Structure 1
């Protein structure tokens, strides 16, 4: 659903694909085994990917994904005030690793773009 209907935004070396959802749609996107435990749908469900084409060694891909997850964890409060729920995919499109601070700046820029989205797609 995310890759079929989602919109994208690039902030090199990241490409963000996102899909705004209503609360009902967000709850339907949760795995059935997890849905029973939740009272409210999560504000965002996030996916991180680093292509094997650009980084042949799994160690390098895993390090980049770990850094991306940490940057998101530290800055996800940006989305807390949003009335919209999101499915978000971050694809690392660069061919070389970048420093943590640069990655953080680009991911924050992407999250700020999400703040501008006010209505879910119908």
Structure 2
């Protein structure tokens, strides 16, 4: 079980991100929202992910960066759930919708619920 988050798995392409928001599907588990789109990524990179926190809700860059670090860590530790259950490739954007800086435990718990909801919706498997 590889728990790294290498550069190849980071969603950075402006084209892919625009297409993700234009054509992608969305699921939410407050305070997180996952926007996802099935893509044609190379075999070794099945999922590319990015995280975001709203500038409207968090004026200070320090706060936004803290939230994004928490989101990336929770995703990194729980992404194996998706890679083990599906063979398709996806682009993910994980958005933080809350208005206060969360604790890691809350983010981790909600990330697990969000990924389980994604798997249930996409593969029909309940975890």
TM-score range relative to shorter protein: 0.7 to 0.9
Conserved 8 A contact 1:26-1:86: yes
Structure 1: gaps of 5 or more residues: 28-39
| TM-score of the superposed pair, with normalisation by structure 1 | 0.79
| TM-score of the superposed pair, with normalisation by structure 2 | 0.76
Larger RCO: Structure 1 or Structure 2 (Cα < 8 Å, ≥ 6 residues apart)?
1
2:50 matched to which residue of 1? Answer: 47
Q: Does 1:15 align with 2:33?
A: yes
Distance 2:92 2:79 in 1: 12
Distance 1:75 1:10 in 2: 17
The structure with the larger Rg is: 1
Structure 2: gaps of 5 or more residues: 1-18
The one-character-per-residue Cα deviations of 1:47-94 (angstroms, maximum 9, x if unpaired) are: 100011000000000000001111111111101221221110011111
Distance 2:119 2:108 in 1: 17
**Size of the alignment, in residue pairs?**
104
